[in-house]
Amino acid sequence: MQYKRILLKLSGEALMGEKQYGIDPKRIAEYAEEIKEVVEKGIQVAIVIGGGNIFRGLAGAATGMDRVQGDHMGMLATVINALALQSALENVDVQTRVQSAIKINEVAEPFIRRRAMRHLEKGRVVIFGGGTGNPYFTTDSAAVLRAIEVEADVILKGTRVDGIYTSDPEKDVNATKFDTISFADVLLKGLKVMDTTAFTLSQENELPIVVFDMNTRGNLLKIVDGQNIGTVVNV
């Protein structure tokens, strides 16, 4: 296996599956199976999950809501998703812990770095909810931050597309995929991988990012096994 400890970033929207809102039980069960395969290979798995399937602070602000209030709602949405993913993983007998950046002690542990690392060493999947705990950030930033903190080897960004393209492959038939690309080239070419804050944090800390299609069965294991089926962003 190429990686020993991974940080998997899943967007909230990915959990919607075919639905327009919320959580698709079939999709989350499929993700749990994919994650279980990787855990069974002895890979240590940390996960950051988004909340866009439930609420985004920017969407609230667009309707006149205070941005910070909206971001708090968005962060709570990520906790809901984290709990749902924990349930799905437990249904397939994978041991997990949820750690939240917002204190919500009755339902999740607070984020404690050393404790998170201990869970990982013991083979438990650690799901980080609540984003960074701060408004005006995204869960991509939370993913990079947590990956660096727990010393993950790589951040795996599971998306609907199978990598980074020269232009949007859903709009441009001539778009071609990069197998690997440097952080500098992503910026130079103006490509969109993560928001700028998250991307820069990853670059400064030389944390590689792999963008891949999470919706094809077996892909997560292939990535962890070192098969380049997505795009690797590296220094």
Q: Which residues have a Cβ under 8 Å from the Cβ of 81 and sit 6 or more positions away?
A: 12, 15, 23, 49, 50, 51, 53, 54, 129
Is residue 138 annotated as involved in ligand binding? yes
CB of 49 to ligand UDP, least distance (A): 7
Amino acid at 203: Q
CB of 186 to ligand UDP, least distance (A): 19
Amino acid at 187: L
Q: Which residue lies nearer to ligand UDP by CB, 69 or 205?
A: 69
Residues that bind ligand UDP (CB under 6 A): 11-13, 50-52, 56-58, 70-71, 74-75, 77-78, 131-132, 134-135, 137-139, 141-142
Is residue 31 annotated as involved in ligand binding? no
Is residue 52 annotated as involved in ligand binding? yes
Q: Which residues have a Cβ under 8 Å from the Cβ of 41 and sit 6 or more positions away?
A: 1, 221, 224
Is residue 218 annotated as involved in ligand binding? no
What residues does 212 pair with on adjacent strands?
158
CB of 123 to ligand UDP, least distance (A): 26
What residues does 99 pair with on adjacent strands?
109, 128
Q: Which residue lies nearer to ligand UDP by CB, 1 or 107?
A: 107
Range list of β-strands (E), 43-118: 44-49, 96-100, 109-110
Closest residue to ligand UDP in the complex (CB): 50
Is residue 158 annotated as involved in ligand binding? no
Maximum CA extent, the chain: 51
What residues does 10 pair with on adjacent strands?
49, 158
CB of 53 to ligand UDP, least distance (A): 6
Q: Which residues are annotated as a binding site for ATP?
A: 9-12, 52, 56, 159, 165, 168
Binding residues: 9-12, 51-52, 56, 71, 132-139, 159, 165, 168
